Amino acid sequence: MDGRVLGLNGVTVRRGGESLIEGVDWSVLEGERWVVLGPNGAGKTTLLNVASSQLFPTEGRVEILGERLGGVDVFELRPLIGYAGASVSGRIERGTPVLDLVVSAAYGYLGRFREEYGTPDYGRARALLGHWGVADLAERDFHTLSEGERKRVLIARALMADPELLLLDEPAAGLDLGGREDLVRRLSKLAANETAPALVVVSHHVEEIPPSFTHGLLLRDGRVVQAGPLDEVMSAENLSETFGLPLKVERDGDRWTAKAA
């Protein structure tokens, strides 16, 4: 695999004559922690759907964990990719207990029992829920949880199969300030763990970039504005171009802020 977890070359996704993403080149290496930033409609979710093997590009080459998309059975690949996003919540049946949802992820299902789960599976699921601060919600119906609780449960679920690549689509969206700060702290801790998978987190806000994250990709109108180490990417010039307004960007310790200039 060459240390490369994800490789996109000239990747374009078109729908109805429109390009959702256009000519994207991107490499993610083992141990890297990426944030993908861009305004609404920039193509971030589309990019993550390609990276998680859920969407085939119209053009270009995609390699995930050393396998070429199109030349590999995606059902073998997907258990190695942890994914959490709003599209997952929408597919969970009403009445699904949190613990079932997490434990079934080891087999790529969304809470429906098609396998016999063993005690170690339940132990791991409970430990992950504990790690993300939601152990006491194990028996609850997923759909009765608050937005912040759902986000943490979905991350625990995404980690259940011990993935080599973890993709999180807007994990902080809809959280209040305390919830956001708690999530940023937990993601930072995960990022600092050398044994954690390669991480990609999509966000609209530079304030949500967890400390310990290493790289950034800026997306506007489906095209990459800049991609690379965070210190190089996070300039006022790059972010102003990405979000389409003059911005002042500051680094305060290990956190970032941006506001209109």
Ligand X SMILES: Nc1ncnc2c1ncn2[C@@H]1O[C@H](COP(=O)(O)OP(=O)(O)OP(=O)(O)O)[C@@H](O)[C@H]1O
Stretch that binds ligand X, among 36-44, 121-129, 132-140, 207-215 (CB under 6 A): 36-44
Given a contact cutoff of 8 angstroms between Cβ atoms, the answer to whether 112 and 104 are in contact is: yes
Q: Which is nearer to ligand X, 41 or 123 (CB)?
A: 41
- In the region spanning residues 199 to 228, those forming contacts with ligand X, defined by CB under 6 A, are 204
For CA atoms 98, 103, 104, 105, the dihedral sign is positive
Measured CA to CA in angstroms, residue 119 lies from 83, 103, 126, 150, 192 at distances of: 24, 10, 11, 24, 29
For CA atoms 86, 91, 93, 98, the dihedral sign is negative
Q: Which is nearer to ligand X, 189 or 204 (CB)?
A: 204
For ligand X, the binding residue among 33, 37, 44, 201 (CB under 6 A) is 44
Q: Which is nearer to ligand X, 104 or 226 (CB)?
A: 226
For ligand X, the binding residue among 35, 42, 154, 184 (CB under 6 A) is 42
Q: Does 46 bind ligand X (CB under 6 A)?
A: yes
Least separation in angstroms between CB 56 and ligand X: 13
Q: Does 41 bind ligand X (CB under 6 A)?
A: yes
| Residues in contact with ligand X, shown as a per-residue x/- string from 155 to 194 under the rule CB under 6 A | ----------------------------------------
Instruction: Give the burial class of 231: count Cβ atoms within 10 A of its Cβ; 0-12 exposed, 13-18 middle, 19 or more buried.
Output: exposed
Q: Does 40 bind ligand X (CB under 6 A)?
A: yes
